[in-house]
Structure 1
Amino acid sequence: MKRISRTTLFTSTQLALCLIANLPFASYASDATPTAAIPATATNDASADSSKKVKNLDAVKVTGAAITVDKIAPTQGSMMAIQPQSIIGEQYLRENVAPTGDYTDAISIAPSISTVAPNGPGLMEAQSVTMRGFQDGEYNVTFDGIPWGDSNDFTHHSTSYFTTQDTGSIVVDRGPGTASTLGNATFGGTIAVGSRTPSDTAGIEPYLSFGSFGTWVEGAQLDTGAIQQTGGTTALINLENVRSDGYLTYAGQRRQNVFAKIVQPIGDNTTLTFVGMYNNIHQNVPLGATRAQIEAYGPNYGLNNDPYSQDYYCYNIDNIDTYMSYVGLHSAFDGWTIDNKAYTYSYNHFGWNGEDPNGETPNGTIYSPLDVPAQALRNTYTSYGDIFRLSKELGPGELRTGFWYDHQRNLRTLYEVDANLNYAYNAPTQLAATDRDMRDTLTTFQPYLEYNWNITDRLSLTGGVKDADFKRDINALVNQKTGEPLVYSKDYSKVLPSLALHWQLSDSWTAYAQLAKGFLAPNLNTFYTSAPQDNTVKPQQTINKQLGTTWSDGRLTLSADGYYINFNNKIESRTVGAITTFYNAGGAVYKGLEGEATYLLADGFSVYANGSLNRAIDNATNQWLPNAPSKTAALGMIYNSGPLYASLIDKFVGHRYGDTGLQQPFGGYATTNFAASYTFAEGFGALKSVKIGVQVDNVFDNKSVYYLSGYTAQDNTPLYFTIPARSYELTFSAKL
């Protein structure tokens, strides 16, 4: 496989080092970099003080070192929550997630979450990420509070933006939130990713990782520290290069990422934040293997090296460039709080694939019966938007208002080509070779108003309303599926009320209840018809009812909840070859119980467990919905004392079906992951510290089939992915 040169990355690193060297470093107050604060609430800034009476827990001293349960816990609930959530802090991200991993690898530990990463952690886009049985596109993903994703179906490319090294915390919010929770699919929940916070201490931290599947990670994070001459400016930049052959055959990945963040205080009450990132990825992408291929070539069969095969790795390629940036303003004065983020992000994807990889479609093009038929695609979109929030202490509570505006424009093309002739059109004309040539836009506007009423010092009620408005426009020279031109637009709108009660029963115990409506406009594929004005597909709507409680006393953090979600006009999908189709399943009911806990034992040891019982049933057929596990569970031990950290955690995902009609059943499976690190704080001269860490995924080497990825184009033969084999990544880092 041709490798991408690292010259650009190393040149950027040298420039960044020169920049840092010429900045006036702040004095070194200590050798330790402060850990980023774990957010106390779920998905948005406006709800940050939903219960102002709750106090942070004091540290519990264990074997002479200050260790708190909220730092140790892999996941934990919040004492300020108004709906079920799991907070994943920076320690878990740094210690337990492989350096190549992405946010989907991090959240896989949480209750009611199941993920499919068949090429190894972060070495391929996650093929499935479910929350309570909701699929990607049915819940929201945000970065620093900004909703992002593809406008055509609201899904997300897990490897195309931020890396684990860019991330400071993640909150898995299993609920629609309040009126101030913004996004296109919040009714299924929100995965809220937060960026790392620049350190007040200046320094450089280079890191190097290597491991299974020929994986290498090289990178460095540079912190300016607090620059007093400019009013306390702090900034960081992280540069990273990843290369790996991947677990699946011929499924290599090359990735370069640059992330920068500047925080500028203005006076005592105002802060400006500037964030920017760029990501480039080159990936050979398999679509799955048949059971016959898995039996013949092994569980890791993906692509091959035969240039006259549609599975040839050089014909199955993704080249993707992305960027994201925002300018944030936060100001608090005289009982008022203003928060605004103006942002943009872009995704530019050129891709090629065999006509029917690992399928039965024979070779042959208009040029030769031996040539390989293939497809060439382009998908590029750019979003511009703004999130404005305003709150004011008013009467016995706080009044909150604001809006989210987003406009995304999208270009999508797909052509039939001859892979052996430098992707020449496989038709007499370009138009005849065109499967789609579409330009579409999605404009979203969501204003909201809510009030948090402090009924007593320990009881608060948050009620509000949001107007969710979507407008789709399409201008297609060749519309997908019909092959005909189409110019059409459609508005969808829904008023969404919400009500949430938060009760602080004691200093260590809180409870909540929630009732809220959710809404999701039909995705772009409902326009893939000659007469979209006659389409009977209706918007998806939900009514969410949830109850829960959280306990946290310094040694124990424990949370539990129950949920009931009535989902109307549920849209399902089925994939055949490279084509995915959608339809209304009428309705569905999601219900279940969830819990998670961490308990500090003694001498640095703690025990962690979580679990969920989930049910997702189609109302019309009374059958289980696809890719909706019946249960999840996790159990593990953690040791954290002084310079040594170690953990052994097992995650179980229960029975599920890969397709509708109870087809393609999969039994439950478990994977066990081990992580350990040791930090040497002295004896290395100019180095402040040196750290050695290791992550071992799938310790017991479970390689069973666990996901239906689709069907072959010609004979509808099922394609599968297996659990990646046991793998390790060893990391060395140093603080200068």
Structure 2
Amino acid sequence: MHINAFRRWLWAGAALCAATAPFAHAATAPATAPAAADDQSTSAGQTGQANDSQSLTTADIVVIGSAAAQSAPLVASLTTTQPQAVISRSFIDNANAGADFNELIALTPGVSISGTGNGQGFSETKAVIRGFQDGEYNVTYDSIPFADTNNPTHHSTAFFPSNTIETVVVDRGPGNASQLGQATYGGNLNMYSRAVAEQFGGQLQMLYGSWNSLMGRFEIQSGRIEHLGGARMVFAGQYLKSQGALSFSPVQSKNLFFKMVLPIGANHTLTAMSTWNRNYYYQSDSLKGSTCGSALKGVSGFSNAALDANGNLLTQLTANNCAAGTNGAVYGRDYGLGGDATKQDYWAYNRTDKTTDFSYLRLQSVLGSGLSLDNRLYMYGYSNNTMSGNSGTVVTGFNTATLPYTKLTNSNILGYNKLNKYRVLGYIGQLTYDFWLGKIRAGGWYEHSNTWRHTWDLDRTTGLPSYNENAYLGTAATAAYPGISLANIKYEQNSGWNQFQLFGEFEFRPFDSLSITPGVKYVHFTRSVNALVNQTTRAPADMQATWTKTLPFLTVNWQASRNWSFYGQYAQGMYVPDLSSFYSTSATLAQSLADLQPMTTTNYQIGTVWHGRRVSLDLDGYIINVNNKLGTCTTVGCDTSLTINIGQVRYKGVEGQVAVMPLDGLSLFVNGSYNYAQSVTTGAQIAKAPFTTAAIGFVYARHGLRVSYNQKYTGVQFANEYNGNPNYRLYRLSPYSVGEFAISQEFGKNFRLGLTVSNVFDNRAITSISTSSSGAPTVTVGGVTYQNGYGQGDQFSFLPPRQFMVDARFTF
């Protein structure tokens, strides 16, 4: 272990001892420290970091109790109160440098990833945790939640590249009452910013790889500046450019990151952090993959239909032998965009530009007599300006000489401009009282958002407006629509929210090895819309709705010995209805919003963590009941434009991970999960929720040489929800796995060369399908018509090809 890494590890251990007392015995160094293993240190030990003794949740305190756990790429803390995986800084530092924060957690039990088709870091990805989709779990940065403002989803390449991340903690549960977020529902993906160092230093890094991909990085650590009271700063940046794995799909991004930790006297610490990101990429906003044109089962590359014991269709979708002229036939699995300016998928018509920023000020104060105060004031912004081609005919205007008005058209390429721009301001405050019986935390969170969104139809050939939307054409049948001057506006909308959450919890320690933490959180969320033309309805809108909920929590952690703990959790979470719940012209909308209940979860989880000298393991089981699931009604004659509560979903499963250190410097790991996510209404597994996941790999690090390999398996899943067809279920995706190999060698103290190979075996499996009923066969059973085969417009997404990245790094 290098001197600087050892120093960071000692600082982490010292602070963890103080932070977790009287559990200090669990936070000490491993009984036998690894002679030459990966450093599992976090920024937990440094005042001014997010995951320290004043963190919003004790689950952020990472306590490692053995050499095996210390060297593993992901591990659970001995003090956790819910299933957890901590991704080490060493793993992040040696993974594919382009990996976004979703790809960094891909090895976690119960996690699956889609959207990697353009190469790691070159397209936005989505992570599924136990079947919970993006938007159904929190994502935080330094314990500050962030998300889109129409629904709490995330853009994985827009904010935080891996060089801004010190470590990641994936909590598969709602956490304690003090865990904050817009979706305290299905779990928490908690990222923590780069740590500031005690010593001056830094590094320069250059990477080059597949598809003419180039990355440049720098990091400068100021070290401790005595004439500024011991202030420490880190400044970092990244530049990325690639042609991408898919046809005509280049990307470019730039990031700057700054963080300062400033002691103020003996009892106060001020942390200032700010990061800025700018990126663009070429990708269709209306096309979601490569079309193949296969409508019938058993033809065009699809095997003959077969059923499993439960009646599920076992036809394997391969996207081979696609129909002539489709994207799959022309470009194969590497389709992104085309080079023909007479088609909507012409690359120059399809560009997205994004600019984001994220900043906070944090003041931590030790008030004496066991009292401490933590204040965070933050702000983040997002701007997405998308130009996209679209199918259809350009409408240049209207002939108003006769009734009804008639459309004037040309043969140019139709498209649109989409803007999503928001600014979020927030404050989080927490008061902690630490005394002989335990620790009391109380605090609150206030957040305000303001969003401007629009989609305007365009003639992409000329750049002029195209008037394609429903409009008043001089007849009674069209009287509900806006005038023809607004027919180029699909929607133009302001929206916002004002929300606050209040929480309190008592971490009760009846004796040293047991912590019992009851807690309660109150959520108050008001969402508003003020639209010239509202999305979907194309009608004006000016309304708001408020949802409230009181959520109870109870967690237990018992350390049976210094390296073995058991935990249990009962917790409720909630999900506030999306902005789309306002997209209705129904006369009963106001009453519908008043009656609409947030989705809630009730979580029951138990588990154990054991860190032996050479073996570390953890195992958990869970049952999660979802109530008030949001959707639309299916009853004949009901208003399907209204969002209503439609039923329940039940999640249950088991998960586990094991790390073994058979030799000094060598760490082996394996993990797996069985995750059952069933709709209570239909009895079927929900869409995009793999039944199983698994990962296996090793890390060898000794004498400056580091070699690692990991393989992630994603089990059977379905691309869309069950449609009720009594014959079989469509769109079953086959299991697949993908591996990553990395090797690096240090030369002296200042230079390192490395190579990363992603998707080692060049697996091109289908990872997701944007399904379509276009051209699909149907069947009528009991008077109800069902899709009974695959659509000609189905759009496939695949694993990217094998990817190489060479890394040269100079440290000082």
TM-score normalised per structure 1: 0.89
Q: Give how far 1:711 is off.
A: 4.2
Given that residues 357 and 380 in structure 2 are in contact (C-alpha distance below 8 angstroms), is that contact kept between their aligned partners in structure 1?
yes
Give the alignment partner of residue 316 of structure 1, picking from 350, 356, 365. Answer: 350
2:89 matches 1:90 = yes
Q: Give how far 1:663 is off.
A: 3.0
Match of 2:55 in 1: none
Q: Give how far 1:583 is off.
A: 6.7
Match of 1:553 in 2: 612
Map 1:123-162 to 2 at 5 A.
Answer: 123-126=122-125, 128-162=126-160
Map 1:378-527 to 2 at 5 A.
Answer: 378-426=419-467, 430-527=485-582
C-alpha spacing 1:549/1:476, structure 2 compared with 1 (3 Å) = same
Match of 1:3 in 2: none
Match of 2:289 in 1: 288
Q: Give how far 1:352 is off.
A: 1.2
C-alpha spacing 1:463/1:666, structure 2 compared with 1 (3 Å) = same
Percent identity over the alignment is 31
C-alpha spacing 1:646/1:59, structure 2 compared with 1 (3 Å) = farther
Supply the distance in 1 between the matched residues of 2:216 and 2:773 (Cα, whole angstroms): 38
Match of 1:336 in 2: 371
C-alpha spacing 1:710/1:379, structure 2 compared with 1 (3 Å) = farther
Supply the distance in 2 between the matched residues of 1:385 and 1:189 (Cα, whole angstroms): 21
C-alpha spacing 1:381/1:33, structure 2 compared with 1 (3 Å) = farther
Match of 2:742 in 1: 675
Q: Give how far 1:529 is off.
A: 0.4
C-alpha spacing 1:171/1:658, structure 2 compared with 1 (3 Å) = same
- What amino acid maps onto 2:331 in structure 1? Y
Q: Give how far 1:255 is off.
A: 0.2
Q: Give how far 1:37 is off.
A: 8.8
C-alpha spacing 1:416/1:383, structure 2 compared with 1 (3 Å) = same
Give the alignment partner of residue 725 of structure 1, picking from 801, 805, 810. Answer: 801
What does the per-residue CA deviation read over 1:694-721, in whole Å, with 9 as the maximum and x for residues that have no partner?
Answer: 2111100001212113549998721110
Supply the distance in 2 between the matched residues of 1:307 and 1:565 (Cα, whole angstroms): 50
Match of 2:253 in 1: 255
2:432 matches 1:373 = no
Give the alignment partner of residue 533 of structure 1, picking from 580, 586, 590. Answer: 590
Supply the distance in 2 between the matched residues of 1:511 and 1:135 (Cα, whole angstroms): 28
Supply the distance in 2 between the matched residues of 1:417 and 1:65 (Cα, whole angstroms): 57
Match of 1:219 in 2: 217
What does the per-residue CA deviation read over 1:96-133, in whole Å, with 9 as the maximum and x for residues that have no partner?
Answer: 2x11111111001110000112211111111x310000
- What amino acid maps onto 1:651 in structure 2? K
Q: Give how far 1:81 is off.
A: 0.3
Match of 1:14 in 2: none
The secondary structure found in structure 2 opposite 1:298 is helix
Match of 2:309 in 1: none
Structure 1, unpaired ranges of 5+ = 1-28, 41-45, 575-579, 683-688
C-alpha spacing 1:678/1:698, structure 2 compared with 1 (3 Å) = same
Given that residues 636 and 649 in structure 1 are in contact (C-alpha distance below 8 angstroms), is that contact kept between their aligned partners in structure 2?
yes
Match of 1:21 in 2: none
Supply the distance in 2 between the matched residues of 1:530 and 1:66 (Cα, whole angstroms): 58
C-alpha spacing 1:190/1:406, structure 2 compared with 1 (3 Å) = same
Given that residues 50 and 452 in structure 1 are in contact (C-alpha distance below 8 angstroms), is that contact kept between their aligned partners in structure 2?
no
Match of 2:53 in 1: none
What does the per-residue CA deviation read over 1:216-275, in whole Å, with 9 as the maximum and x for residues that have no partner?
Answer: 001211111111111111101111110011111111111010000001112333211000
Supply the distance in 2 between the matched residues of 1:31 and 1:187 (Cα, whole angstroms): 39
What does the per-residue CA deviation read over 1:378-436, in whole Å, with 9 as the maximum and x for residues that have no partner?
Answer: 10000000111111024511111001111111111011111001243445955111111
Given that residues 38 and 72 in structure 2 are in contact (C-alpha distance below 8 angstroms), is that contact kept between their aligned partners in structure 1?
no
The secondary structure found in structure 1 opposite 2:234 is strand
Supply the distance in 1 between the matched residues of 2:182 and 2:372 (Cα, whole angstroms): 25
Given that residues 219 and 237 in structure 2 are in contact (C-alpha distance below 8 angstroms), is that contact kept between their aligned partners in structure 1?
yes
The secondary structure found in structure 1 opposite 2:75 is coil
- What amino acid maps onto 2:573 in structure 1? G
- What amino acid maps onto 1:435 in structure 2? K
Match of 1:109 in 2: 107
C-alpha spacing 1:519/1:32, structure 2 compared with 1 (3 Å) = closer
2:651 matches 1:590 = yes
- What amino acid maps onto 2:521 in structure 1? K
Q: Give how far 1:179 is off.
A: 0.8
Q: Give how far 1:54 is off.
A: 2.6
Given that residues 591 and 615 in structure 1 are in contact (C-alpha distance below 8 angstroms), is that contact kept between their aligned partners in structure 2?
yes
Supply the distance in 1 between the matched residues of 2:774 and 2:642 (Cα, whole angstroms): 13
Supply the distance in 2 between the matched residues of 1:51 and 1:61 (Cα, whole angstroms): 20
Match of 1:16 in 2: none
Given that residues 132 and 628 in structure 1 are in contact (C-alpha distance below 8 angstroms), is that contact kept between their aligned partners in structure 2?
yes
What does the per-residue CA deviation read over 1:127-154, in whole Å, with 9 as the maximum and x for residues that have no partner?
Answer: x310000000000000000000112110
Given that residues 322 and 345 in structure 1 are in contact (C-alpha distance below 8 angstroms), is that contact kept between their aligned partners in structure 2?
yes
Given that residues 365 and 371 in structure 1 are in contact (C-alpha distance below 8 angstroms), is that contact kept between their aligned partners in structure 2?
no
Supply the distance in 1 between the matched residues of 2:618 and 2:676 (Cα, whole angstroms): 20
C-alpha spacing 1:585/1:113, structure 2 compared with 1 (3 Å) = farther
Q: Give how far 1:204 is off.
A: 3.2
- Count of residues paired in the alignment: 686
C-alpha spacing 1:36/1:101, structure 2 compared with 1 (3 Å) = farther
Supply the distance in 1 between the matched residues of 2:597 and 2:37 (Cα, whole angstroms): 57
Supply the distance in 1 between the matched residues of 2:669 and 2:505 (Cα, whole angstroms): 36
C-alpha spacing 1:362/1:573, structure 2 compared with 1 (3 Å) = farther
Is the radius of gyration larger for structure 1 or structure 2? 2
- What amino acid maps onto 1:665 in structure 2? R
The secondary structure found in structure 2 opposite 1:57 is coil
Structure 2, unpaired ranges of 5+ = 40-66, 293-321, 398-407, 469-482, 634-640, 723-728, 776-790
Given that residues 697 and 727 in structure 1 are in contact (C-alpha distance below 8 angstroms), is that contact kept between their aligned partners in structure 2?
yes
TM-score normalised per structure 2: 0.81
The secondary structure found in structure 1 opposite 2:90 is helix
Match of 2:732 in 1: 665
Map 1:594-605 to 2 at 5 A.
Answer: 594-605=655-666
Q: Give how far 1:71 is off.
A: 3.5
Given that residues 320 and 348 in structure 1 are in contact (C-alpha distance below 8 angstroms), is that contact kept between their aligned partners in structure 2?
yes
Given that residues 450 and 496 in structure 2 are in contact (C-alpha distance below 8 angstroms), is that contact kept between their aligned partners in structure 1?
yes
C-alpha spacing 1:64/1:206, structure 2 compared with 1 (3 Å) = closer
The secondary structure found in structure 2 opposite 1:186 is coil
Map 1:689-728 to 2 at 5 A.
Answer: 689-711=750-772, 717-728=793-804
Given that residues 414 and 460 in structure 2 are in contact (C-alpha distance below 8 angstroms), is that contact kept between their aligned partners in structure 1?
yes
Supply the distance in 2 between the matched residues of 1:644 and 1:626 (Cα, whole angstroms): 43
The secondary structure found in structure 2 opposite 1:157 is coil
Match of 1:118 in 2: 117
- What amino acid maps onto 1:83 in structure 2? Q
Supply the distance in 2 between the matched residues of 1:87 and 1:38 (Cα, whole angstroms): 18
Q: Give how far 1:457 is off.
A: 1.7
Given that residues 36 and 197 in structure 1 are in contact (C-alpha distance below 8 angstroms), is that contact kept between their aligned partners in structure 2?
no
The secondary structure found in structure 1 opposite 2:185 is helix
Match of 2:726 in 1: none
Q: Give how far 1:456 is off.
A: 1.7
The secondary structure found in structure 2 opposite 1:525 is helix
C-alpha spacing 1:340/1:53, structure 2 compared with 1 (3 Å) = farther
Give the alignment partner of residue 27 of structure 2, picking from 48, 55, 70. Answer: 55
C-alpha spacing 1:609/1:583, structure 2 compared with 1 (3 Å) = farther
The secondary structure found in structure 2 opposite 1:111 is coil
C-alpha spacing 1:592/1:50, structure 2 compared with 1 (3 Å) = farther
Given that residues 245 and 800 in structure 2 are in contact (C-alpha distance below 8 angstroms), is that contact kept between their aligned partners in structure 1?
yes
